[in-house]
Structure 1
């Protein structure tokens, strides 16, 4: 993929400001520090005093009640606030942003780069990021999209930050970010739903509850490892464990007769549409 010509360079400051100190921000902060980043270079805005104190105590980072204080001197601003409040948070920082020209990274679902840039005063260098909850374990995946104002250094800096949470995947077209949200951002819930159903079905077939849970959890873990470590396509792995006229074939055929693939496609389409609606609702 060819990188677009940058319109302005990434700011020289090594400081990173987190706007919001919730679980995802905490996981990224922990990953940065584990990689040797100086805690003094991390500034966190968090309005909840208990969370602020916890961040300072656990990581030794600088904490602030307001975003305006946290962003002072920071070259990268990472917004980790809910989509519903993003506009107000950005507009309050617009004057500072137009002067400081930071690299802006957002992990809010459904908020476009154009919206972020406009709310921050215009022509901001913006990266949209969509991590998922396994990032809390360092086992997540993050979809990334950069505007043309983000230079190669900005991309590298963003990648280094988000790779603390797991793998990163760069997307060429921002319109695809809602699909990223639908597949990977919301995706862990789909796996949890399947595990929930498998556990309940095992109990219905007479298994003790603790056995049904242990069998389900280890099966999901083992299947995930096979998917990520074997290098084989999901369809091939499924074919290998599906003996003709066996138990697995009976189960898979029942799934397919119920429209499993079509239902999955419809679910991801619904999540994609919801991401687009969030953008429109917050414009």
Structure 2
């Protein structure tokens, strides 16, 4: 079957053009472009120091680029904080997970977005509605097939994979447009990593696109629809796992292989 060359172009859910970030004389990102399409898992890969973390921080509102433009859909936006990105439906799961171990799962899920009790208890005394938060947390965990003994148990009692699941669940619960995941399987065992990969697939099945930053090439090839190769502070290529082999993608990442013009432009 040949491609329909007359098909209307798809508007990216999240995109950026010309992003640049300098720290004094050090250029962390230079004219970087990015496009996340609806419903896809886009893996972002690159060597240490390639600038992929800077790119992700700009897209998630953690840092403000010195130049360039970010768009949500077709609308130009300026993120001055992670809250700004969250207000546009973009949630990020960083490597440190940002969980509070002593609090229970439900409290972590609703952290910063706590449900208040009705009436004066909630509006004046600001008392949280713990039963409602636990009920809704359990419903969401059941929906996402995340298995824990109880949403009332403290996060410190969970395994590494379960903690990752809580952080991802929080992002999915409030991320209306995009979920960004920074090395979600780092430091996890094989079984726990497989659980996270299956969770990413379930997120995609819900129609929510995922940006996956990962060094684990087998995981990238298992779950990614496209792969954004970042090199020397900018996008070097965008490739499809079904077209390029794992060895070729690594060669593109290190500069040992030149991308095609279509891959360089991100339209492969």
TM-score, length-scaled by structure 2 = 0.35
Task: Using structure 1 for the length normalisation, give the TM-score.
Answer: 0.33
**Between Structure 1 and Structure 2, which shows a larger proportion of strand residues?**
2
Which of structures 1 and 2 has the larger relative contact order (alpha carbons within 8 angstroms, sep 6+)?
A: 2
The structure that is helix-richer by fraction is 1
Return the index of the structure with the highest Cα Rg: 1
